[in-house]
Each structure stands twice: as C-alpha cells, then as structure tokens.
Structure 1
Amino acid sequence: MQTTTLSFSNLHNHGELFANLFRARRQSFIVQKNWDLPQADGMEFDQYDTPASRWVAVHDGADQVLGGFRLTPTTAQCGVYSYMIRDAQRGVLGGTIPQDLLYEEAPVDPQVWECTRVFVNHSTPMAIRRKVHMAMAGAMTKTARELGATRLIALTGATWPRWYGRCGLDAEAIGRVMLIEGEENQCVSINLVPKMH
C-alpha cells in the first residue's frame, strides 16, 4: 500500500493515478452514494479541483486507488468560489449544504486547510479497510503539515468520534449535526499542532 500526494505540478510523474483518483471519486460519490455531481470521461470533479488544491491517493502501487481525499487552503479564491465549507456558509452553493453548518464564521487563514471528498473505494477489501483509514489519517496529517497547516477543517460523517481517535486524530465538532443527501454530517476541526514534534 502506498500514499501519494498529487498536485497540478507533479501529476505528470504519476501516470494514470490522478485520473484514477477522480474515477474512484465518481464511483464513490455518484454511483454508490447517488450524489448529483459534475462528471466527465468517467471522473467526478467540482469547482474546488484547482491548482490551489492537493489530492492524496492511497493506492496499491499500480492503478488501483483504495481511498483518497482533497486538501484546499482556506485562502483559496477562484471566481466566486473559495472553499466548500465557507461557500456553503455564504450561500454560494445554493443550499445543497445548510448555511448554518458552522458555529462561527468560516476561517480564512493560511494555516487552516479544508479536507473534502474523503472516501474509501467500494472495492477495497474489508480486510484492509482499517489499514487504508490509518494510511489516510497519516497522509492527511503529514501532507497538511508540509503545506504549513496547523489545523484542518472537514465536513464529515457524524460518526467521526468513533474512528478519528482510533486513527490518532485530535478533533472537535465546530458545527451541528446535519442531514445531507440522507446522511448525518458534521463539521470538525482537526488540530495538527500535537503532530508537529
């Protein structure tokens, strides 16, 4: 099992991995969860997949993506868009995510990054899913720290308290539990400062 951080500046070094990550996202979010999201050529994408973001893929070393996620700086700006949680709060997303998803105003801070599109591929065997979760948590922490982040924010499943601790993540709720696309979700803050030693 390998972990690769992808960016627009290095994707040419990784063959089909970048495209396969977006194909796996389509399978996870459009096919499995039936979310109405943009897609082209068998890949899911949205307005936050810009050169400002980074994508982390957990893979088998070849073509099979086991899981992944996207990191976007909270300072990002592209046209009317900034980052997903902030844009939802500002009403830019048309109500697909409730505007009252955070207790406070969404941060704009170079040391705070957003983590979105977190998934484990449906075809990842149950026997290694825990290892994939652990690899994703480790890569999330390592990559975010390398990008200068001291904190991550994420909109995640409301079951996060059950597995964040197991993965060594120090997190707290920063918003209410909300029903989105038939699933309970909640915004969390992940403190990376303890991981910086």
Structure 2
Amino acid sequence: MIDVVTFATAHCFGDALPSSLRLRHKIFVERQQYDVPCFDGMEFDQFDTPAAVYLLWRDGDGKVRAVARLIPTTFPYMIQQLWPHLAADATLPNRPDIWEVTRLGIDPDLDPAERKRAFGEIVCALGEFAMLNGVTSYLFVTHPRIMKNVLAGSGCEVELLGPAQVLGTFTVVAGNVTITAEALESARTCHGITSSVLRFQAEPVMNAA
C-alpha cells in the first residue's frame, strides 16, 4: 500500500515523514551525491512545504522504502524555480490540474522483487491520486531512458518539454506525463496490480488552488 501523507496528516502516520526524509538522504545524498540541505541524516529542500503531498511505500516494520513528492504547479516548484531551461520547448504551467513529481526513489537495499513491487505501486498511486484530485498530468525531470521506457512504457502519454541536458553529472529531460483512467488501468496491468493501492488516514487531498 501507498500512504498519502501531508504536513497536515503526518501525525496520523507515526514517523513516516521523517523516515521518508532519511530515505531521501540515503538515495540522493549518500548514493547520488546531491548537494542539497541535510539535517540529522534527513534530506529536505525549499519545496518541502505544506502544499506538498508525499506518496510513501513502507515495509512490514513501518520503515519507508519508496517515496515520491507531488507539488501542484500553483505553488513554487522545482522545474520552474531551478531549471526552467529544461522546458525550452514549452511554457511552464501554473494550473491546479498539473502537478510536479520529484524525489521519486526506491531504497536500493530492497531485493529486486520488492523494488519492482514498490515501484509498481508508486506508479499506480500516481494515477489513482490524479483521478481522485482532478490532476490531468504530472511534470517529471528524469533520465531520457526512464521517461521513454518506464513512464511511457507504463501506458502514459509523454510530451517532452525540451531536449535532454546535463545537470551536474546526470543527463536528464523534462516531460509532461498525461494521466487518464485508461493510463491507470494500463499501469495496473503492466505492474500486476488489481485494486487500489492508496491509503488515507484523513479525507482525500484537496484541490490545491
């Protein structure tokens, strides 16, 4: 299952939110050497605000092992603030139905079967969240191969916002991924998931305006 966590609902999920920040430190600071703020083994940045929504996959001990952060484009978001040049072929949106997905990562210490399961549930959770909250598309910045083989391969329509470019030591591309009910069903089929994966401890997340 995927827990849907916000600042407002974090108290319902124990230490899930700080656990997710520790996982982000492990993935993005220790492993990928991102130069980002850290405190006490937790990674965070200026986009971790009350507007953010976190999709978290936890193991049987309650430890977060996969994470994705969602931000509505009506609030400051990463591509807009840090890398607008990645969208050379498009106008960056400021709309309540388009959100940005960042800090998507899976614990590298999971075994291959668990990694596959966690990733599949995160992908389907993105689709379910979109259907529940009127989200029509997500912005991503990722490696071109992931954009093509993983996101498009899961049944989503992908529009590239500009050419691939190098950020630090990584080659990345920005894309707008359209989410539909058909795309969600295709993703479920692709990942062998037959029912909802989202778990809310409060009312489903609002329309952000």
The aligned residue for residue 171 of structure 2 is: 184
For 2:43 and 2:21, locate their aligned partners in 1 and report how far apart those are by CA, in whole Å.
5
Q: For the aligned residues, what is the CA RMSD? A: 1.7
The 3 A distance-change label for structure 1 pair 194 and 127 is closer
1:84 and 2:83 are equivalent in the alignment: no
**Paired residues, number:** 182
The aligned residue for residue 75 of structure 1 is: 74
For 1:73 and 1:150, locate their aligned partners in 2 and report how far apart those are by CA, in whole Å.
11
The aligned residue for residue 2 of structure 2 is: 3
For 1:113 and 1:61, locate their aligned partners in 2 and report how far apart those are by CA, in whole Å.
30
For 2:57 and 2:126, locate their aligned partners in 1 and report how far apart those are by CA, in whole Å.
11
Output the amino acid matched with 1:24. L
For 1:13 and 1:107, locate their aligned partners in 2 and report how far apart those are by CA, in whole Å.
32
% identical aligned pairs: 26
1:126 and 2:112 are equivalent in the alignment: yes
For 1:181 and 1:20, locate their aligned partners in 2 and report how far apart those are by CA, in whole Å.
27
> Normalising by the residue count of structure 2, what TM-score does the alignment of the two structures yield?
0.81
Output the amino acid matched with 1:29. F
The aligned residue for residue 201 of structure 2 is: none
Q: SS of the counterpart of 1:51?
A: coil
For 2:18 and 2:5, locate their aligned partners in 1 and report how far apart those are by CA, in whole Å.
11
Determine which of 142, 163, 168 is the counterpart of 2:150: 163
Q: CA deviation at 1:31?
A: 0.3
For 2:112 and 2:170, locate their aligned partners in 1 and report how far apart those are by CA, in whole Å.
21
1:100 and 2:85 are equivalent in the alignment: yes
For 2:100 and 2:53, locate their aligned partners in 1 and report how far apart those are by CA, in whole Å.
10
**Paired residues of 2:22 and 2:43 also in contact (CA < 8 A):** yes
**Relative CO higher for 1 or 2, CA cutoff 8 Å, sep ≥ 6?**
2
> Normalising by the residue count of structure 1, what TM-score does the alignment of the two structures yield?
0.86
Q: CA deviation at 1:182?
A: 1.2
Output the amino acid matched with 2:158. A
Q: CA deviation at 1:194?
A: 4.1
The aligned residue for residue 33 of structure 1 is: 32
**Paired residues of 1:24 and 1:65 also in contact (CA < 8 A):** yes
Structure 2: state its 5+ residue gaps: 186-209
